[in-house]
């Protein structure tokens, strides 16, 4: 660390840490893509109006549970908490600098975000039905945990992207993990078979 770190800044790495550094009351931390989607669904339906701030983490437990954390997420969280106990609690942010940069437009987007239009699987009904079946077949072979590690927000979206030729089936990390285990099992089976054959020939 380079200095200037605070416990509240470090706590952003896990669920519930971000709201701790905010003056806002009625905050709602949520982690895990599926839970986040449910909460955002409730927001859209107007069910969560009492919350002033919703702290959403796609990864389980927050960043410490992300797919790029090489440590066990609970161990990583424990380490971050212990480290935070040794750091000062207060904010290290230079508010004047932040306000100046805000006025300069440093935190504004150059262009408004446009929602991506819904993409049909095909322009004619017959091909769309064929592709829909293919998408459902791919979806049935996926783990269905909506982890987001492939870059798609859900397994359903990933399956649609595969059918549209925008990604490859192998990019689901769990699929190639399963394939790897299958190959290891097959290799072990062949080695055992070879041992039995060698034993029978003695
Ligand atoms: S397709 Fe695989 S990597 Fe993508 S969200 Fe589903 S389980 Fe995760």
CATH number at residue 180: 1.10.15.40
For residues 15 and 1, which has the higher predicted lDDT (pLDDT)? 15
Give the chain's domain count.
Answer: 2
φ, ψ of residue 56 in degrees (nearest 5): -100, 130
| Distance from C-alpha of 83 to C-alpha of 123, rounded to nearest angstrom | 55
Given 40, 75, 93, the domain boundary residue is 93
Q: What is the value of pTM for the model shown?
A: 0.48
* Strongest mean pLDDT among 33-47, 124-138, 168-182: 124-138
- Regarding the beta carbon of 158 and ligand 1, being less than 6 Å apart is answered yes
Q: How far lies 144's CA from each of 3, 22, 175, in Å?
A: 42, 35, 11
Domain containing residue 149: 125-201
Helix/strand/coil (H/E/C) assignment for every residue in 46-87: CCCCCCCEEEEECCCCCHHHCCCCCCCHHHHHHHHHHHHHCC
Q: 5-14, 79-88, 180-189, 193-202 — which is least confidently predicted?
A: 193-202
Residues 89 and 133 in one domain: no
Question: Which ligand 1 atom sits closest to the C-alpha of 171?
Answer: 3
For residues 136 and 111, which has the higher predicted lDDT (pLDDT)? 136
pLDDT at 202: 65
pLDDT at 6: 82
| Tens of pLDDT, residues 62-86 | 888 887 788 888 898 888 889 888 8
Taking a C-beta distance cutoff of 8 angstroms, is the pair 134, 20 a contact? no
- Regarding the beta carbon of 174 and ligand 1, being less than 6 Å apart is answered yes
């Amino acid at each position: 660390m380079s200095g200037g770190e605070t416990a509240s800044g470090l706590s952003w790495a896990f669920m519930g840490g971000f709201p701790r550094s905010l003056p806002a009351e009625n905050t709602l931390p949520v982690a895990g893509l599926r839970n986040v989607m449910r909460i955002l669904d409730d927001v859209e339906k107007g069910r969560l109006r009492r919350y002033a701030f919703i702290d959403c983490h796609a990864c389980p437990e927050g960043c410490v549970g992300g797919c790029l954390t090489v440590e066990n997420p609970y161990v990583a969280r424990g380490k971050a908490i212990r480290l935070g106990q040794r750091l000062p609690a207060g904010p290290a942010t230079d508010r004047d600098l932040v306000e100046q940069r805000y006025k300069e437009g440093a935190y504004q987007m150059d262009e408004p975000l446009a929602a991506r239009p819904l993409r049909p699987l095909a322009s004619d009904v017959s091909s769309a039905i064929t592709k829909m079946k293919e998408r459902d077949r791919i979806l049935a072979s996926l783990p269905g945990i909506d982890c987001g590690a492939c870059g798609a927000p859900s397994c359903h979206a990933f399956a649609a992207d595969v059918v549209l030729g925008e990604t490859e089936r192998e990019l689901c990390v769990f699929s190639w993990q399963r394939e790897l285990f299958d190959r290891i099992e097959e290799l072990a089976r062949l080695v055992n078979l070879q041992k039995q054959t060698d034993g029978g020939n003695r």
